[in-house]
Structures are given as structure tokens and as C-alpha cells.
Structure 1
Amino acid sequence: MNVKEYIASGILELYIAGSLSEKENEEVHAAIQKYPELLEEVASIEKAIVILSAAAKTNNSYSFADIQHQLQDNTPKIIPITKSKTNWSQLSGWAAAFIFGSVLIYTVIQNNKLKTQIATDKQQLEEQIDKASNSLAEAEKLIEVFRDKEIIAVPLAGQKVSPNSYAKIYWDKKTNSIYLDAKGLPEPPKGKVYQVWSLKLSPLTPTSLGTIDTFTADVNKIFTIDNPNESEAFGITLEPEGGSASPTLEQLYTLGAVSP
């Protein structure tokens, strides 16, 4: 940008007077923020307006009191009327424009902040609505699953390492999936995850169904897990992040057999 040409264009005066469109105001405001010379020029213009406005109030030498005095004097006199070289109405307009322009600058800044905040709030609200809708759909699906007579419910009791722990598995053989309600498990320590196992009992053969990596973040603690196995029991162990090839029996938190 050629700053001198920009100043000479008169756009700064129009900006201060509030005669620009909202888009032009924003563009000029951005330019003022970018170029210190423009900010100095705006300050200079505003200062001139203040000085001229003050002059308009103090330099009018012929007042209403003078006219009243002339009317009360019986001696015929000609009241000299001189035309001021200064356009006081224009100066008054500039003074008002200065006040308006100052408010406008502040308003534009505040409006920009408000627009940003509104956009942020709108995005957050949309995300909350979307999340709530998804949660509602998931809740309705779970209710249908839990009420299905063909769903196999398998309670998992706490074991030696954590006697107070408990969980429950709802096994849908039609879809080869289980719904694990893990609300009764404590928060895993840092660097550890829960791993779910499908078990065959004779001989004892564990098959990993994966780790619950989102346990801490999930509020409801209900997880959907694929299970194509002919499971006879289910267990949950605490393992290092990434899981283990075989269950760490010393860290067996819950265990439950499928009812025949």
C-alpha cells in the first residue's frame, strides 16, 4: 500500500465522519492497525476537529444579547451583518462526526469480537446438539438391546485384585457383538488399559477382544465390541497400554461365565 496516496484519497476523513459502508469501515480499520502512519493521521484529523469545534463555540462575536440591546435602543441604527467566512454548520457537523467516528471505531472493534464470539458459541452449540442427538440415538439403541429376549446377559464379578469391581456383558449373537457395561470398574492408572477376553473353558483358551482405550473419556462407560467367538466366559484384565498377547491373571479384575 502507498500510504501517502491512501491518506490523500480522503478516505480517512470519511471513515472518521462515519460515511463509509460497514465493509469499508472494516478495511480502513484493518489498514490503520497495520500502518502506524495511518493511525497518526487519524489522530491528527480528530485533533483538528476538536480545535475547530471549540472555535465554533468561542469565536461568534455577535450574540443574541447584542441584538436585544439594539432593539431596546430607540435611536435608529443599522445593525451591521457580516457573513462569516467560516461554515460553522459544517464545523458542527465535523465535531459531531468526530464523536460518532470515535464511537464507530470502538463499535467496529467490539462488533468484530462479538461476531467471533457468536460464531464460536454457534459452533459449540451445534456440536452439543449433534452430540446430544448421537447420545440419544445410542441410548435408544441400547434400550432395545437390553430389552431383547435373545440377548444373553453375563454378569462379571470382582476378583482377588479388585473384589469390589463388577461389570456386565450383553451378548448379541445375531450381530456377533457385545455391549460391555464397565461402570463398576475403577479408573485405570496411567499407562494401563483394560483388556476384554473371550474364554473357552475346556481347555482354558483366552481370545482378546481388544483394549478399552477410551475408558476414562467415556462418561457412560458402555462399549460396543465385536465378538465372533463361541464364548463360554468373559474376563477383564488390566494390561499395559497397547494390550497383551495373553491375559495377566494377577491383574484379573472381573470374570463371569455364560449361563448354559
Structure 2
Amino acid sequence: METKEYIESGILELYVFGSLSETESEEVAEMAKKYPEINAEIIAIEKSMLALSSSFAPFQSVKNYAAIKEKLNLSTPEVINMSPKRNWAQYVGWAAAIILLAGIGFQYNQLELTNNQIVTTNLEKVKIEKERNELATKKAAIETHLAVIKDDKNTVITLGGQTVSPESSAKVYWNKDTQTVYVDASGLPEPPKGMVYQVWALKLNPLTPTSIGLLDKFKDNNERFFAVNNIAEAEAFGITLEPAGGSLTPTLEQLYTLGKV
């Protein structure tokens, strides 16, 4: 802004009248130091104010001034102590804001606690449901196991341990009427990783093996009781250890159990 525009803006009059903020007054003072014409304008405005005030102020003699002074009792002025006025509304507002924030924080914490409880409850519900299903499955397996054992129509073939594992044993429950076969493999050790037990129905003369199933998921079957494929004729049953997926013919070197009908 040019000096002329600055002078004509009216800010100098406000400066002389004391109507500017502290920052604005400091700015005008700096401009007066920097530009002589601005300083001269300020002096001119001050002189004009003095002349104007003198023209309105009535002349009072010394005698009149003394009388007025005595009338107003200005000799012993009374000092009035002013105590600062406290803005209680401001304090109340801050207190209300703090209480509000505390309330919001409490409600948020309660909401988080409730959400955590809901999540925990849902997890517990899922866990309980899973355990219930596992128990139901186990119960059904036990009931099947008991029903097979108690069925008088089943022929029970005991399979004894062989050279590779003399301590092994198993039982085959064969119902010739329904041609269903169950294997109790509780006497077999857990197969190595990547290997599986395979059950064979055998004709002895000539030796003709027929695969009737794998004992899959051996570790997960707590009862070690397996249903295998139906067979119409068999003279013996054997169980060998084979690579995962089974073999087309039995690996006789891995014959764990064998038993005649």
C-alpha cells in the first residue's frame, strides 16, 4: 500500500483516538518511524484534536478552579478498592465440558466392555457347539462299535501280529448276511507319517488278495474302529502298512496282522 493510500485509509485517525488494537498501534508506530509523511500526518491530526477541544472547553480562572475543587472535595480523594470480577460462567462451562467428556469416556468404555463380552460369548458358544458335535460323533461311533460287537450274526476273526510287528493285533467283524465288515484296529500302532494301513480279504489257494479299504485318519479315530468295503467271500483277512493312498497288491514285508476265518 502507498503512503498516500495509507494516510487516506483513516487508520491514523483511529490511532490518535486510541481505537486500534495493540498490534495495529504498533504497526502504525513502525510506519511513522519509517515514513516521515505519515509521522507528520499523525502530528497534524493531534494538533487538530487539541485545537478542536480548546474551542469547546470553557475558560476557567484560577479562582474558579479552586472553588470547583473545594466543591468537589478533590483534596482527599477516596480510593476505592476494585476486586476483579470472576467469570463464573466460564468455570461452569469448563466443568460441564469435563463432566460431559468423562461421561462419554465412561459410555465408550462400557460399550467396548459389552462388545468384548459379546465376542467372548460368541466364541464360547462356537466352542461349546463344536464340543457338542464332537461328543455326538463320538457317541455315534461308540454306539456303532457296541452294536457290531453285540450282533450275534457277526463272525469275529482275530488277527495276530506278524514278523514285522509281533505285538500287533486286530479284529474283523464280518456279517455274511449283510456283507458288512468292520475292523477293530485298537491293537495296531499309529502308522508313520505318509503311510496307511490297508485291509485285505484273502483267498488262500491260490493266494488272492482283494483290498477292502484303508484305515484312513487313524490318529483322529479315537475308537480305532473302521468300516470297510463289503466282501462276499473270504478265507482270511490281513492288514499291511502301505504308502498313503494304498497299493494295488499287499506289501508282504509290511504284513502287520493276519487271521483265518
Q: Note whether the superposition's TM-score is higher than 0.5.
A: yes
Give how far 1:97 is off: 2.8
Q: Which amino acid aligns with 2:101?
A: F
Matched, 1:157 2:130: no
Amino acid at match of 1:153: V
1:257 matched residue in structure 2: 260
Q: For residues 41-82 of structure 1, what are the alpha-carbon distances to aligned partners after superposition, in whole Å with 9 as ceiling and x for unaligned?
A: xxxxxxxxxxxxxxxxxxxxxxxxxxxxxxxxxxxxxxxxx9
Query: In the alignment, what sits opposite 1:30?
Result: none
Larger-Rg structure: 2
Residue matched to 2:102: 99
- What amino acid is the match of 2:248? A
Q: Distance in 1 between matches of 2:190 and 2:140?
A: 26
Unmatched 5+ stretches in structure 2: 1-84
Q: Distance in 2 between matches of 1:172 and 1:97?
A: 78
Distance 1:212 1:178 in 2: 13
Question: Which residue, out of 143, 146, 159, partners 2:146?
Answer: 143
Is 1:184 aligned with 2:164?
A: no
TM-score by length of 1: 0.62
Q: 1:222-259 CA distances to partner (integer Å, 9 max, x unpaired)?
A: 1111223311111000011111110000000000111x
Equivalent pairs counted in the alignment come to: 177
Pairing partner for 2:206 from 185, 203, 206: 203
Say whether the 8 Å CA contact 1:195–1:210 is kept in structure 2.
Answer: yes
User: Distance between the aligned counterparts of 1:89 and 1:231, measured in 2?
Assistant: 97
Q: Percent identity?
A: 42
Q: Are 2:134 and 1:123 equivalent residues in the alignment?
A: no
The reply to whether residue 240 of structure 1 matches residue 249 of structure 2 is: no
Cα distance in 2 for partners of 1:217, 1:145 equals 20
Distance 1:101 1:182 in 2: 64
- 1:247 and 1:90 map into 2 onto residues whose CA distance is 90
**Aligned residues of 1:198 and 1:229 also touching (Cα < 8 A):** no
Gaps of 5+ in 1: 1-81
Indicate the RMSD between aligned Cα atoms, in angstroms: 2.2
Q: Work out whether residues 241 and 255 of structure 2, in 8 Å CA contact, stay in contact via their aligned partners in 1.
A: yes
One-letter amino acid of the counterpart of residue 183, structure 1: S
| Distance across 2 between alignment mates of 1:104 and 1:172 | 68
Distance across 1 between alignment mates of 2:92 and 2:177: 87
Asked whether 1:132 is paired with 2:141, we answer no
The amino acid of 1:209's aligned partner reads: I
Counterpart in 2 of 1:213? 216
How many Å apart are 1:121 and its aligned residue?
1.5
Deviation, 1:212, is 1.6
